[in-house]
Amino acid sequence: MASTTTRTLLTLTLALATAAGLAGCGKRREKVTLAGSTAFQPFAEKLAEQYMSTRADADITVQGGGSAVGVQSALSGAAQIGMADLVTLPPEAKDLVAVAVARDGIALVVNPKNPVTNLTTAQIRDIFNGKVTSWKDLGGEDHAITVVSREAGSGTRSSFEDILTGLRLTPNAIVQDSNGTIRETVANDAYAIGYLSHGLINERIKAVSVDGNPCTTEAAMAGKYALVRPIYLLTKGAPAGAAKGFLDYVLSPEGQGLIRKDGLIPAQ
């Protein structure tokens, strides 16, 4: 007959094995990676954080890289969900399922010290083409304009150029690789002008009106502000599993409410 100590050890071993087995039966966390639009990236990060806060089985990772990366990542499977903020998706995106989850105003921004408060679309085109080079011609100081733009492949730049049409960026432009660096450049240069997501405006920069219409959610929703582009989440085939769960959340009243709260325009 086994001793009391031996029986106790056997009981404890069985209990630990049972507990381990039960833990192993728990639902596995299915990882979902989003990649692409750097303009939408901070908003996607907030949505993912809120989603995971109430779902222990969710594991969402958000990466940037630009809209072109979003399309390619979704096509290759490097990301389960691509992010693209493009007026016109590239031809290769025809093999993806594109779901519009929000719209975003592209704000024309200057330094708060700049007295200019409104520009026409024609003036904006001339500035970024390099045809108009002094603020004096726009109601400002007699000083050269510092043009700041996003890099080629950026969804914000592609949409900006698609909406304005006829725009060929001046070779004198300072090219930045994110909305954040655009904002910092304009904030630190009294004579700079750039463009970025409306939801990323802060007190260090000033958005100018376009054709007399301010870059506000209300003006964009009313169709008065012209520089507006859609934001797509892209999947290879119909979304399924954890990717579908997150996408459904983004389109839910709670997700759309967060999008509106953060300065974007809800998709519905």
Residue 11, pLDDT > 50, answer no
The mean of the pLDDT values for the chain is: 89
Domain 30-102+230-266 has CATH 3.40.1160.10: no
| Terminal-residue alpha carbon distance, the chain | 73
Tell me whether domains 30-102+230-266 and 105-221 share a fold.
Answer: yes
d(CA 203, CA 226) in angstroms, rounded, equals 23
For helices 67-76 and 155-164, the axis angle rounded to 10 degrees is 120
Closest to 199 (Cα-Cα) out of 109, 262, 265: 262
Angle between helices 241-251 and 41-53 (to 10 degrees): 110
Mean pLDDT lowest for which of 7-21, 63-77, 158-172, 179-193?
Answer: 7-21
Q: What is the pTM of this model?
A: 0.78
pLDDT exceeds cutoff 80 at 12: no
| Residue 153 confidence (pLDDT) | 81
Q: What is the mean pLDDT of residues 237-244?
A: 94
> Which band of pLDDT confidence, cut at 50, 70 and 90, is reported for residue 262?
confident
Dihedrals phi, psi of 197, to nearest 5 degrees: -65, 135
Q: In whole angstroms, give the CA distance from residue 264 to residue 218.
A: 10
Q: Give the bridge partners for 265, in sequence order.
A: 103
> Residue 223, by phi and psi: left (phi above 0), alpha (psi -120 to 50) or beta?
left
Which has the closest alpha carbon to 103: 59, 191, 163, 193? 163
Chain segment 216-236, per-residue pLDDT in tens = 988 988 889 999 999 999 999
The average pLDDT across 43-61 equals: 94
Residue 28: the pLDDT is: 67
The answer, yes or no, to whether residue 121 has pLDDT greater than 60, is yes
- What is 105-221's CATH topology? D-Maltodextrin-Binding Protein; domain 2 (3.40.190)
Task: Dig out the tokens for 216 from the structure.
Answer: 């506000």
> Where does the pLDDT of residue 25 fall: very low under 50, low under 70, confident under 90, or very high at 90 and above?
very low
Position 157 scores a pLDDT of 93
Region of poorest pLDDT, from 171-175, 215-219, 246-250: 215-219
- Every domain of the chain and the residues it spans: 30-102+230-266, 105-221
CA distance 33 to 50: 16
Q: What is the pLDDT of residues 129-173, one digit of tens each?
A: 999 999 999 999 999 999 999 998 888 999 999 999 999 999 999
**CA-to-CA separations, 26 to 15, 23, 58, 91, in angstroms, rounded:** 17, 5, 13, 42
What pLDDT is recorded for position 231? 95
**Residue-level pLDDT at 268:** 66
